[in-house]
A and B are shown apart, each in its own frame.
Chain A
């Protein structure tokens, strides 16, 4: 049972372009939606996160767009750079019996060509 579905699996973007990665979730009880960035040989690192009370959050070149009614959220990377080449994971979590743990999407490998 995949609670968070991520697409595309891989993405190639030209330098300066916009990278868009999408995620859809099933559980309406999810209330925290982070994105993680992972470079080869490293652990994932928190990039940006959003809660469902806002529709958009921007940090530098990275923006999360959130559509609660469609149960979808996406990551937009503006002015993509070769240094952004990495694997990106969306995730979601909810409080369940007082516990919380992140459920991750399957990942998107982004390649930004110079």
Chain B
């Protein structure tokens, strides 16, 4: 989708293990976002980035950390996965602060 790739697409992991999800873009967009999607909650913002090494917390950031060492990559890490973090995770990119987002295809994460 418009030069944005999420990996892996599916992952099953055990409670207590660390997990890293990757978002890679080829659009050279400055702004990148991580959301989680759960039934009845829509999409909730986890973390976002305004550039390399410039990140900020969203409304549901507890238990998650992010890193952006290159413009094209935005990594989301679950430090110690819990069952409540079972969800579909979406990365989004935006060219400008005023504009709409382009979303990736998502990563379905199951924590057992």
The interface of chain A, by Cβ under 8 A from chain B, is 6, 9, 32, 34, 36, 41-46, 49, 89, 95, 99-107
Residues of chain A with a CB closer than 8 A to B103's CB: 36, 43-45
Contact with A along B11-30 (1 / 0, CB 8 A): 00000000000000000000
- Selected from A6, A46, A99, A106, the residue in CB contact (under 8 A) with B56 is A99
Question: In the complex, how many residues of chain B place their beta carbon closer than 8 angstroms to a beta carbon of chain A?
Answer: 25
**Are B90 and A46 in contact, CB atoms less than 8 angstroms apart?**
no
In the complex, A36 Cα to B100 Cα: how many Å?
9
CB pair A103–B45 under 8 Å, yes or no, is yes
The residues of A that contact B44 with a CB separation of less than 8 Å are 104
Task: Tell me whether B106 and A105 are in contact (CB under 8 A).
Answer: no
| Contact code string B27-58 (vs A, CB < 8 Å = 1, else 0) | 00000010100001111110010100000101
Contact call A44/B97, Cβ cutoff below 8 A: no
18 contacts between A and B (CB under 8 A): A9-B40, A34-B100, A36-B103, A41-B105, A42-B105, A42-B106, A43-B90, A43-B105, A44-B43, A44-B90, A89-B42, A100-B97, A101-B58, A102-B43, A104-B35, A104-B42, A105-B42, A106-B42
B84 within 8 A of A: no
Given B1, B41, B45, B90, which contacts A101 in the complex, CB threshold below 8 Å?
Answer: B45
Q: Which of B56, B101, B102 is A102 in contact with, Cβ under 8 Å?
A: B101
The 3 nearest A-B residue pairs measured at CB: A43-B103, A46-B100, A104-B42
Smallest CB-CB separation from A3: which chain B residue? B59
**Closest residue on chain B to residue A35 by CB atoms:** B100
Chain B residue with minimal CB distance to A32?
B98
- B40 near A43: Cβ-Cβ < 8 Å: no
The residues in B between 95 and 112 inclusive whose CB is less than 8 angstroms from any CB of A are 97-98, 100-106
Contact present for B42 and A99 (CB under 8 Å): no
Residues of B within 8 A of A99 (CB): 48, 50, 56
